[in-house]
Amino acid sequence: MSGDNNFNRYNDFPYKSYEEIQNDKKRKSKVRKGAVLFALLVIALIGGALSVGVWLSGTPFGMFEGKIQLGLFDSGIGKQDTPTAGTTANSGGGKFTMTQDSAPADGETLVIANDVTGVVEKAASSVVGINTESYSDFMSISSGSGIILSEDGYIVTNAHVISGGDSISVTLDNGTVYAAYLIGSDEFTDIAVIKIDAENLPAADFGNSDDIRVGETAVAIGNPTGQLMGSVTAGIISAVSRNLMINNNMMTLLQTDASINSGNSGGPLINKHGQVIGINSAKISATGYEGIGFAIPINTVKPIVEELIRNGYVSGRPIVGLSVSEISKMASSFYSIPQGLYINSVMPSSDAKAQGLAQGDVITHIGDERIYDLSSAVVARNALKAGDEIDIKVYRRGKTYSLTLKLGEQNLDNGGYNF
């Protein structure tokens, strides 16, 4: 009996068979499909109407009045008036109009694709290939490029191209090979001068690197891989004043997207007039970087070349006489010493040695400037000249001392000291 009573409690609920439930599902599915098809049909009709409007009047139903205009016309949150010419946008709900003009006449073109064949014809014969070899195994240790400075055989290249070699050979544009000897090398600026015994050579035409502008044509000629003599790449000047540290010397370099490959070092960066405006020196070759090469401006190269030919080294360049390394923030915390320049060694003939600086001391200030890295210290030092005095502060075993040191002169005998 209780079972019957429980059953009767559900008599008021509508009962549907399995077939009825499946039919309901099919009917609802047809309704949804019909709604989607109807929406697609409406969208197609609107798109067709707009296309007809564009074909008939040049703009859909004239709604833009012959101009391309940016703005909200019907956002659903009130309606914005159609913008008018000459208005500007602002945060207070102002109007903005952007118009487009037709292309200017050919005479007004700002970008011209240059043919660099004339540049190459003028400059290529002044570019040489350089190969440096070791006597110990008679193998090449480096290859690069160079530029003929004078008809009687002076050639400029990078210092790293001829560094560490026992013999230097030069290959001219016509294939003639000469033995070369070193005149002088300056590793701080990566410039070297060599010479061959030859006459009536095609000397390069040198320009003024102070006059060049970002976006100008730049052409590089060189000897990539040491076997592709006379290879030409072209691009533009990407920047004219990139400050980079090269061999512990802060330098201002030209940046270009003309390909600077291995073996292009020491070769010329040339302007659209066929004039050398820089000496190719370095490139960023890490993964994720393309088209970032650097050249030493020719206005920087000129006085160095003249000094090397006259003295064999660059005179008057200051040096404190220290070999130093940077103390990172992590090392500072770990060893409980201040950030600065850790002194590894002191040049025996320097004033720094005479005044008692020693390995383990830390330079924290130059003048009143707090020093954290070598580049900042080099910039401060290079603002002076050999024979000048420089004020420094040194940390030693929990105490700070102030010293005034006399600067020495960088030369071939003190190349192992970076500050």
Looking at residue 54, its pLDDT comes to 42
Dmax over CA atoms of the chain, in Å, equals 129
| 250: Cα separation from own chain's centroid | 16
How far is Cα 277 from Cα 255, in angstroms, rounded to an integer?
Answer: 12
How far is Cα 363 from Cα 395, in angstroms, rounded to an integer?
Answer: 6
Evaluate whether the domain defined by 209-311 bears CATH number 2.40.10.10.
Answer: yes
| Cross-strand pairs, 146 | 128
SS3 7: helix
Which one, of 104, 61, 55, lies nearest residue 82 by Cα?
61
Q: Which of 160, 185, 259, 361 is catalytic?
A: 160
**118-196 and 318-409 have identical folds:** no
Q: Are the C-beta atoms of 312 and 413 separated by less than 8 Å?
A: no
Beta strands 231-246 and 249-256, pairing class: antiparallel
Supply the DSSP symbol for 247: T
User: Does residue 190 have an active-site annotation?
Assistant: yes
Looking at residue 223, its pLDDT comes to 83
pTM here is: 0.62
SS3 153: coil
The CATH class given to the 318-409 domain equals mainly beta
Q: Which of 142, 143, 185, 190 is catalytic?
A: 190
Element (H, E) at 139: strand 139-148
How far is Cα 356 from Cα 385, in angstroms, rounded to an integer?
Answer: 22
DSSP letters spanning 380-391: HHHTS-TT-EEE
Looking at residue 3, its pLDDT comes to 43
Structure tokens at 314: 């660059």
Beta strands 389-396 and 362-366, pairing class: antiparallel
User: Does residue 315 have an active-site annotation?
Assistant: no
Q: Are the C-beta atoms of 366 and 351 separated by less than 8 Å?
A: no
Domain map of the chain by residue range?
13-93, 118-196, 209-311, 318-409
The size of the chain, in residues, is 419
Looking at residue 260, its pLDDT comes to 83
pLDDT per residue of the chain (419 residues) written in tens, 0 to 9: 444 444 344 344 454 555 665 666 677 777 777 776 777 776 767 666 555 444 444 444 344 343 333 333 333 333 444 444 444 444 455 677 776 677 666 666 565 567 888 888 999 999 999 998 877 766 667 889 999 999 999 999 999 898 877 889 999 999 999 999 999 988 778 899 999 999 999 999 999 999 999 999 999 998 877 778 888 999 899 999 888 876 666 788 999 988 887 788 899 999 999 999 999 986 555 445 567 889 999 999 999 999 999 988 888 889 999 999 999 999 999 999 999 999 999 999 999 999 999 999 999 999 999 999 988 898 889 889 899 999 999 999 999 999 999 999 887 676 678 88
Q: C-alpha distances in angstroms, 311 versus 75, 161, 193, 219, 411?
A: 77, 20, 11, 32, 10
Element (H, E) at 28: helix 18-57
Which one, of 318, 275, 314, 268, lies nearest residue 293 by Cα?
268
Structure tokens at 365: 């200030």
Looking at residue 166, its pLDDT comes to 83
Q: Is 322 exposed, middle or buried (0-12, 13-18, 19+ CB in 10 A)?
A: buried
Looking at residue 263, its pLDDT comes to 80
Instruction: Give the CATH architecture of domain 118-196.
Output: Beta Barrel (2.40)
Residue in the block written with tokens 């920047």: 239
What pLDDT digit, counting tens, does each position of 203-227 carry? Answer: 999 999 999 999 999 999 988 777 7
Looking at residue 107, its pLDDT comes to 60
Q: Is 134 exposed, middle or buried (0-12, 13-18, 19+ CB in 10 A)?
A: middle
How far is Cα 37 from Cα 45, in angstroms, rounded to an integer?
Answer: 12
User: Does residue 265 have an active-site annotation?
Assistant: yes
Q: Which of 231, 238, 259, 265 is catalytic?
A: 265
Q: C-alpha distances in angstroms, 148 versus 44, 209, 373?
A: 71, 18, 38
Strand spans (E) along 247-340? 249-256, 268-270, 276-283, 293-297, 318-319, 322-326
Q: What does R_g of the chain's alpha carbons equal in angstroms?
A: 37
